[in-house]
Amino acid sequence: MNTDVLKIIKSKGYWRINFEPVVYGEKIKKLGECKDIVEKNIVELRGWDYPHYPRRTGKDAGLDPGSNFYQGWIDWYDHKELWRMYQSAQFLHYFALRDDWMELAHWGIVPDAAKESKNTLNIIGEVVYEMTEVFEFLSRLTRTGIYDEGVRVSISLNKTKDRELVVMDAMRAPLMGAYKAAVDKIEFVREYKKEELLDQSKEFAFGVILYIFERFGWDNPPLGTIKHDQENLLSGKA
């Protein structure tokens, strides 16, 4: 593994996602099943999977066994991630805010004039879509039976002080005001029951999205638009 990948991720804005079973034990019997359970349940809705499952090994990506976990990682252009699935069924995921690495964006997706990292947060791609994917992935993992007794979810968005919410879509109107975070870390923690996650993952993601926006001082986001964006993502129209 590129031992610097986590250091690189933490050097700028990043998400930390953690799923912990309420009742600990060896939920996944064979080490290899740790990577298999991730691969079988990744979310592929908009051209990049969540979490990213490396299909190759090299200087910029890999899939490695540990003593009681498997980990996948990538440091490729603006995509920087590291995840671990433990035999206890704990899942830990660090991934960079891609907008913070805009200068590394590739294939002309971002015009050269716009390839400048700023202290911003894309409300659609970096919050609405990401949180919807996180909870969709969690719901899929729950269906495998590893969280039958419930799961504790911890989500943190890091290096947020003075970061400003922005709309990165030329077809939408910009926000009517400046919404900035006053703290350097926004954290959400909650326990969920198995039955809830199987039926309400989209709604739980919606709640976290609003929670994050409130920490930026955006108290009246367009609820219908957010739900519509979630539906478009989940139906493959994003």
Token code pair at residue 222:
């367009």
Question: What tokens were used for 99?
Answer: 């907008």
How buried is 195 (Cβ within 10 angstroms: 0-12 exposed, 13-18 middle, 19+ buried)? exposed
Q: Which long-range contacts (CB under 8 A, 24 or more apart) does 142-145 make?
A: 142/194, 142/197, 142/198, 143/41, 143/198, 144/37, 144/40, 144/41
Q: How far, in whole angstroms, is CA 121 from its chain's centroid?
A: 13
Per-residue pLDDT, 48 = 95
The per-residue pLDDT for 114 is 52
- Report the range of poorest mean pLDDT among 28-42, 69-83, 168-182, 221-235: 168-182
**CA distance from start to end of the chain:** 32
Alpha helix stretches (DSSP H) within 58-169: 129-143
Cα separation, 105 vs 125, in Å, equals: 15
Asked whether the CA dihedral 44, 85, 34, 194 is positive or negative, the reply is: negative
Structure tokens given for 45 = 């809705």
- Pairwise CA distance, residues 106 & 10, whole Å: 21
pLDDT digits (tens, 9 = 90+) for 42-72: 999 998 999 999 998 899 999 999 999 999 9
What per-residue confidence (pLDDT) applies to 2? 58
Q: What is the per-residue pLDDT for 103?
A: 84
Q: Please, which residues bridge with residue 76 across strands?
A: 79
The token duo for 140 is 């899929």
**Residue 181 in tokens:** 């975070």
Q: What percent of the chain has pLDDT over 70?
A: 94
Total domains in the chain come to 1
pLDDT of residue 113: 46
Burial class (CB in 10 A: 0-12, 13-18, 19+), 91: buried
Chain centroid to Cα 144, Å, comes to 20
User: Which of 103 and 153 is assigned the larger pLDDT?
Assistant: 153
Q: What is the mean pLDDT of the chain?
A: 93
**pLDDT score for 128:** 98
Confidence of residue 143 (pLDDT cuts 50, 70, 90): very high
Q: Give the number of residues written for the chain.
A: 238
Q: Residue 213's domain spans which residues?
A: 5-234
Q: Which residue has the higher pLDDT, 238 or 14?
A: 14
Contacts of 170 (CB under 8 A, 6+ apart): none
Give the angle 44-175-223 at the CA atoms, nearest 5°: 60
Q: Which amino acid does the sequence have at 71?
A: Q
Please tell me the number of Cα atoms within 13 Å of 116 on its side-chain side: 3
**pLDDT confidence band for 3 (50 / 70 / 90):** low
Convert the pLDDT of each residue in 90-133 to its tens digit. 999 999 999 899 888 765 454 454 555 679 999 999 999 999 99
